[in-house]
Chain A
Amino acid sequence: MLMALLKRDLLLAFRNRGDLLNPLMFFMIVASLFPLAVSPDPELLGVIAAGVIWVGALLATLLSLDLMFKSDYEDGSLEQMLLMPQPAMLMVLVKVLVHWLVAGLPLAFIAPLLGLMLGLPNGGFMPLILSLLLATPILSLLGAIGAGLTVGLRKGGMLMPLLILPLYIPVLIFASGSVQAGVQGSDYLGHMAFLGAYLALTLVVAPVAAAAALRISLAR
């Protein structure tokens, strides 16, 4: 059942690829507007590059969270999923995996290109890619809680960022901090260790919380 769900969701993602490209386009647009708005001076851009890329990635993820459960809620599939005999948290994990594959992972691939464009110093690339690979799953996992809580609301648009952003802040601080550390040539393993620990924590807690959130949303 879970494999069938994974297959179905990946197929749906492929059929709706327009929706999925939106956050990626948003990410690229945000990053490419900064040189125009701030200054094309590579020295200055190099200083803010890590922050710009990470803020962009975070906002792009927020933009795509709505897709995780919304359409399944609207057409009744979500009810069917919650009535599967398998625990709902496994279903949530499948949903998170699909969201990460289509919305999180592409960010990690495109980010080095944006880093190049913004003149990110050489030492920053490794921690940038590593931090994105480690932290985008956290964004998807935590996002599932917010998406689950707001899926039944007709106007939940602003509520989800308010719920989720406080949980995203540590990710932002440590991820962009790791890039800064890399740029300055110092050790960034400490930051990575924190991100890894945060990922382990959310991997355990978030699916349970999101499953509970979905039950509440559907109970009405």
Chain B
Amino acid sequence: MSLQNLHNPDTTSSTTGPNATGNGPWLSARGLFCERDERVLFSELNFDFLPGDIVRIAGPNGAGKSSLMRILLGLSAGFEGELFWHGKPMAQQVYDFRSQLLYLGHQVGVKGNLTPEENLAWFSPAATQDDIYGALKKVGLSGYEDLLTHGLSAGQQRRVALARLFLEDKPLWILDEPFTAIDKEGVSELEQVVINHAQAGGLVILTTHHDLRVPVKTLMLGGTETEMPLC
């Protein structure tokens, strides 16, 4: 994957953001506060995610991992605080942020009534058939390209979505529980893909209950104190 031309040299012109230099943090938060049902999930959360980082958002069930992810994605407005993308306020950067984002959620958006090839063709319209076949081969779905996806197992259906990691040349990956329903061998392959992406200069933010054999930064949520080893 080529991840060269990602830094806009003109990001230095920003005035408000943290460290608004070309090599500065990609995704930053200042003073994030979120509560659900009158329970504070996190408050005064600050972080800077740099290119090359693998960030794991951790915490017990209900600690707000998915809520934080939805806030980062801009899908949830129920928070206070500020988000920055390349040092500029997120509100001005929505197009740029989204065009560099690859997000896999709990539900991966794979349609049972489409074949794996058709599913991927709409996720990545720029991909050719060869690209799609190649990506499906990498996730172990050779020979399943033109079977309807609802005939595949749960793990295979998730693998269809994971094939996007090979297809789309996006520098920022946000992955919510990417290892769910994936077998042991698949998990270690996936870990390697994540490492490769980070080493190529991408940024990976993920949640998982698996023990990762990957050097990660951990953002711990939950409990009364919020541990913040990242700032």
- Give A contacts to B, CB under 8 Å: 1, 3-5, 7-8, 11-12, 15-16, 71-72, 74-80, 82-85, 215, 218-220
8 additional A-B residue pairs with CB within 8 Å, beyond A4-B125, A12-B114, A83-B74: A4-B122, A8-B111, A16-B113, A71-B111, A75-B110, A80-B109, A83-B101, A85-B98
Residue from A1, A4, A8, A74 in contact with B107 in the complex, judged by beta carbons closer than 8 Å: A74
**In the complex, what distance in Å separates the CA atom of A84 from the CA atom of B76?**
15
**In the complex, what distance in Å separates the CA atom of A16 from the CA atom of B77?**
34
Residue from A8, A72, A219, A220 in contact with B118 in the complex, judged by beta carbons closer than 8 Å: A8
* Complex contacts, A75 vs chain B, CB 8 Å: 107-112
**In the complex, what distance in Å separates the CA atom of A72 from the CA atom of B101?**
20
Whether B125 pairs with A79 at a CB distance below 8 angstroms is: no
Give the Cβ gap from B158 to chain A, nearest Cβ, in Å: 11
Residue from B78, B98, B113, B114 in contact with A84 in the complex, judged by beta carbons closer than 8 Å: B98
B92 within 8 A of A: no
* Complex contacts, B103 vs chain A, CB 8 Å: 79-80, 83
Q: Which 3 A-B pairs have the closest CB atoms?
A: A76-B107, A4-B125, A77-B109
* Complex contacts, B101 vs chain A, CB 8 Å: 83
Question: Binding site of B, secondary structure by majority: helix, strand, loop or mixed?
Answer: loop
**In the complex, what distance in Å separates the CA atom of A82 from the CA atom of B109?**
12
* Complex contacts, B122 vs chain A, CB 8 Å: 4-5, 7-8
Most buried by A among B73, B109, B121: B109
Q: Could you write out 8 A-B pairs with CB less than 8 Å apart?
A: A8-B122, A12-B114, A72-B109, A79-B105, A79-B109, A83-B101, A85-B98, A219-B78
Whether B121 pairs with A218 at a CB distance below 8 angstroms is: no
Chain B 40-83 per-residue mask, 1 if CB under 8 angstroms from chain A, else 0: 00000000000000000000000000000010011111100000
* Complex contacts, A8 vs chain B, CB 8 Å: 111, 114, 118, 121-122
Residue from B73, B95, B113 in contact with A85 in the complex, judged by beta carbons closer than 8 Å: B95
Residues B77-131 near A (CB distance < 8 A): 77-78, 95, 98-99, 101, 103, 105-114, 118, 121-123, 125
Whether B76 pairs with A220 at a CB distance below 8 angstroms is: yes
* Complex contacts, B114 vs chain A, CB 8 Å: 8, 11-12, 15
Whether A1 pairs with B125 at a CB distance below 8 angstroms is: yes
- Give B contacts to A, CB under 8 Å: 70, 73-78, 95, 98-99, 101, 103, 105-114, 118, 121-123, 125
* Complex contacts, B106 vs chain A, CB 8 Å: 76
A-B contact count (CB 8 A): 65
Known: A15-B114, A85-B98. A76 touches B125 (CB 8 A): no
**In the complex, what distance in Å separates the CA atom of A3 from the CA atom of B123?**
11
Give the Cβ gap from A15 to chain B, nearest Cβ, in Å: 4
Whether A218 pairs with B75 at a CB distance below 8 angstroms is: yes
* Complex contacts, A82 vs chain B, CB 8 Å: 75
**In the complex, what distance in Å separates the CA atom of A220 from the CA atom of B99?**
24
Whether A76 pairs with B75 at a CB distance below 8 angstroms is: no
* Complex contacts, A72 vs chain B, CB 8 Å: 109
* Complex contacts, B70 vs chain A, CB 8 Å: 219
**In the complex, what distance in Å separates the CA atom of A7 from the CA atom of B114?**
12
Whether B111 pairs with A83 at a CB distance below 8 angstroms is: no
* Complex contacts, B118 vs chain A, CB 8 Å: 8, 11
* Complex contacts, A80 vs chain B, CB 8 Å: 103, 109, 123
Whether A219 pairs with B109 at a CB distance below 8 angstroms is: no
Closest residue of A by beta carbon distance from B95: A85
* Complex contacts, B74 vs chain A, CB 8 Å: 83
Closest residue of A by beta carbon distance from B74: A83
**In the complex, what distance in Å separates the CA atom of A45 from the CA atom of B112?**
45
Whether B95 pairs with A3 at a CB distance below 8 angstroms is: no
